[in-house]
Amino acid sequence: MGTRRTLILQKRQVLVFFVLLGLSQASTESLQYSVAEETEIGSFVANLARDLGLEVVELSSREARVVSDDNKKHLHLNLMTGDLLLSERLDREELCGSTQPCVLPFQVVLENPLQFYQAELHVIDINDHCPTFLDREITIKIPESTTIGSMFLIENVQDVDVGSNGLQDYSISPNSHFYVKVHDSGDGKIYPELVLDRALDHEEESELRLTLTALDGGSPPRSGTTSILIKVLDINDNAPEFAQSFYEVQVPEDMPIGSSIIAISAKDLDTGNSGKISYSFLHASEGIRKTFDINPTSGEVNLRSLLDFEVIQSYSVNIQATDGGGLSAKCTLLVKVLDINDNAPEVTISSITKTIPENASETLVALFSVRDQDSGDNGKILCSIQDDLPFILKPTFKNFFTLLSEKALDRESRAEYNITITVTDMGTPRLTTQHTIRVQVSDVNDNAPAFTQTSYTLFVQENNSPALHIGTISATDSDSGSNAHITYSLLPTHDPQLALASLFSVNADNGQLFALRALDYEAQQAFEFQVGATDQGSPALSSQALVRVLVLDANDNAPFVLYPLQNASAPCTELLPRAAEPGYLVTKVVAVDRDSGQNAWLSFQLLKATEPGLFSVWAHNGEVRTSRLLSERDAPKHRLLLLVKDNGDPPRSASVTLHVLLVDGFSQPYLPLPEVARDPAQDEDVLTLYLVIALASVSSLFLLSVLLFVGVRLCKRARATSLGGCSVPEGHFPGHLVDISGAGTLSQSYQYEVCLTGGTGTNEFKFLKPVMPSLQLQDAGSNMQEKENFRNSLGFNIQ
């Protein structure tokens, strides 16, 4: 096996085609070291840090390593000391065979920046092998007529050591017929030749046995011996002759075992046993004997084992033809092995990075080398990766390539890449080798959380229970790990009057929103605030969304009667002329409801009356009208109880009491007081009193009208209410109280200005007039004006 490897390395010629770029990264200096073979493992070779002019710590930081051409780890670099140590016992004969000197090239690779140093390790031979003869006994047949000085070839000895440790001399045991002559073949090898020094005599001595000794030049020298049996034959005067002394044949390396390579033939002019020729190998090495065999009778050379061009490219075989009388002749057969593309390219990964950050560009992913043991086009290599990947291949030094990321990656688009390195030779058929590298893209916090909606609208019924869950906000983050862990929060509001923290809260983990206390629709119908979503990356990224909380109205407010006032010390009294026609407008009940929607839709109902059927109430606008003509039998005073009810669920209501006084006409001075009991005997005195009061009222009417007009205008300008002052609602009532269709609480056709005194128990109804009289009031206008004039003429404030 060792001899075969010797010939492999001696004759191997491999042409590898690379387009080399970036040779500037490689050092032009070549480091040379030497070590004796069979040196112990871990032995010191050299201090690499000192030879490269680098600090020891720099070797570690730059990830220095030793890469051999044959991908075997003969050497080990100690990064702590910078020492180059042996990692295995070296056998020079196994590594280099007979090649001298034995050189093992290797490279020192440094990263950050990438740099190569070429180095060589010389393996020095020691004398660890003895010369060895392939045959324990050599038989030579010599005719007795052989002349003195004739030379006979002997099988040479094998010594795998080289130089002075190799084969140096031959010697033969003392005898009287032969001596040994050493012959130099010109290729550095010596062969022994047995020279006849004294004539043989078959009859005197038919056999001679000699001992041949081979010596090497080691210290101490080693030797090997073999026995030579010489048979003395009768005279045979014709030696065999080959047709030609040199044969050459080309054999493809994939030829099957047992195939015939060539047939060698020789002729002998002798007859009988002296003319019978036998063929054999001469001076054949063990490798040749294991690879080929020869038919001793026909001279046909056959293949005994498979050929391998990558191991041995040619064989030189010496063939000997010997006749029956012992005479022989030789020729040389040169077998050239033809290369076929039977070796796929090889990929060797030197370093690899399996995880790279997504924001890094031109990151080193892998450093690898390629080779093909074939030759010619079969050994030319093309290296590539997939076109649709953001990675590139760059040739660096000799057969080394680097795999780099071409640009910054995006983990959110693709978190993993399977990079297939494809290496193809140029042979026929082409052979391909693929190596897949899986690269994980690590996440960086480059994506802010994103809300599922830019704004959220939530609805909450007023008077809610505290800590009520009103809705959930949600955001997503396309990052991973802690970069995608989202925390929710309420952002500060720009409204200083809005105590947001006391009204709402958000669960920081799941985004659930809670109303911390009961909300009041009548106080505020809507809230707007910002919520934020922040991840836990470094630095943290955040986003915000708008939240609108709309408070839904509940029927929690009963209707409020604006007119007639119900907190006065005396009930309100309305005057009704006895001549009023059916449908005559007696008064209008005005009420409002702080709720909204259908909760504020008011309806009016007459619950109780002194004279049923005399009065009716319009359900939608609160107008109290007469249902029929008045008669003398009708009572002069009437008490009406009205119910004002909203449309909520459940409905809320309020009641109001009206007092109606029947009079014959607004010019009649007779007006009975509702709370004074009159005696018929005093009618004349009372009538006189009324006349005096009427005359005084006529005198003060003008002054009273002017004062009221000025007071109303001043109150409108001030737009404020003070104790004892007059408050006049400005503009219209709220929009939800106005129903254009006439079905609401206060029709657009009836809007009144109400001026009330600011007192507590003596509030008086001072002024009531329509702001926007409509056509519906034209019929009753004369009656109302007559009633107003009648009151003023009397000078009373009806309480």
pLDDT tens readout for residues 710-755: 888 788 777 544 433 333 334 343 333 333 333 333 333 333 343 3
pLDDT tier, 248 (very low <50, low <70, confident <90, very high otherwise): very high
User: Are residues 270 and 237 in contact, defined by beta-carbon separation less than 8 angstroms?
Assistant: yes
**DSSP code of 219?**
S
Position 24 pLDDT exceeds 50: no
pLDDT tens readout for residues 548-587: 999 998 888 889 888 888 765 566 788 889 888 999 998 9
Position 780 pLDDT exceeds 80: no
How much is the pLDDT for 22? Answer: 34
> Counting beta carbons within 10 angstroms of the beta carbon of residue 785, is it exposed (0 to 12), middle (13 to 18) or buried (19 or more)?
exposed
**Residue 465 CB coordination number (10 Å):** 9
Who wins on pLDDT, 336 or 681? 336
pLDDT tier, 12 (very low <50, low <70, confident <90, very high otherwise): very low
Position 782 pLDDT exceeds 50: no
Once rounded to an integer, what is the mean pLDDT over residues 197-216? 86
Which residues have C-beta within 8 Å of that of residue 751, sequence separation ≥ 6? Answer: 732, 733, 770, 771, 772
How much is the pLDDT for 58? Answer: 87
pLDDT tens readout for residues 392-424: 999 988 889 999 998 888 888 888 999 999 999
How far apart are the C-alpha atoms of 750 and 770, rounded to whole Å? 6
Position 99 pLDDT exceeds 90: no
Measure the N-to-C terminal CA separation of the chain; round to a whole number of Å: 137
How much is the pLDDT for 26? Answer: 45
How much is the pLDDT for 9? Answer: 34
How much is the pLDDT for 367? Answer: 92
Position 47 pLDDT exceeds 50: yes
Once rounded to an integer, what is the mean pLDDT over residues 13-28? 35
Once rounded to an integer, what is the mean pLDDT over residues 44-54? 88
How far apart are the C-alpha atoms of 211 and 667, rounded to whole Å? 177
How much is the pLDDT for 784? Answer: 42
Contacts by residues 186-194 (CB-CB < 8 Å, ≥ 24 positions apart): 189/156, 190/156, 191/153, 191/154, 191/156, 191/283, 192/154, 192/156, 192/157, 193/151, 193/152, 193/153, 193/154, 194/140, 194/151, 194/152, 194/153, 194/154, 194/228
Side chain identity at 224, as an amino acid letter?
A: G
How much is the pLDDT for 674? Answer: 44
pLDDT tens readout for residues 251-270: 999 999 999 999 999 998 87
pLDDT tens readout for residues 472-526: 999 999 888 888 899 999 998 887 778 888 889 999 999 999 999 999 888 888 9
Quote the percentage of the chain above a pLDDT of 90. Answer: 29
User: Are residues 636 and 650 in contact, defined by beta-carbon separation less than 8 angstroms?
Assistant: no
User: Are residues 105 and 116 in contact, defined by beta-carbon separation less than 8 angstroms?
Assistant: no
Position 158 pLDDT exceeds 90: no
Who wins on pLDDT, 771 or 459? 459
Quote the percentage of the chain above a pLDDT of 70. Answer: 81
Once rounded to an integer, what is the mean pLDDT over residues 670-682? 44
Once rounded to an integer, what is the mean pLDDT over residues 49-75? 85
pTM of the model: 0.52
How far apart are the C-alpha atoms of 313 and 338, rounded to whole Å? 7
The tokens of 246 are what? 């040199």
The tokens of 451 are what? 């809300």
How much is the pLDDT for 745? Answer: 39
How far apart are the C-alpha atoms of 601 and 592, rounded to whole Å? 9
How much is the pLDDT for 569? Answer: 59
Position 764 pLDDT exceeds 70: no
65 pairs with which residues across the strands?
109
State the angle between helix axes of 778-794 and 683-718 in degrees (0 to 180), rounded to the nearest 10.
110
How much is the pLDDT for 680? Answer: 46
How much is the pLDDT for 567? Answer: 66
How much is the pLDDT for 11? Answer: 33
Range of weakest confidence among 159-168, 325-334, 789-798: 789-798
Who wins on pLDDT, 486 or 694? 486
Mean confidence (pLDDT) of the chain: 80
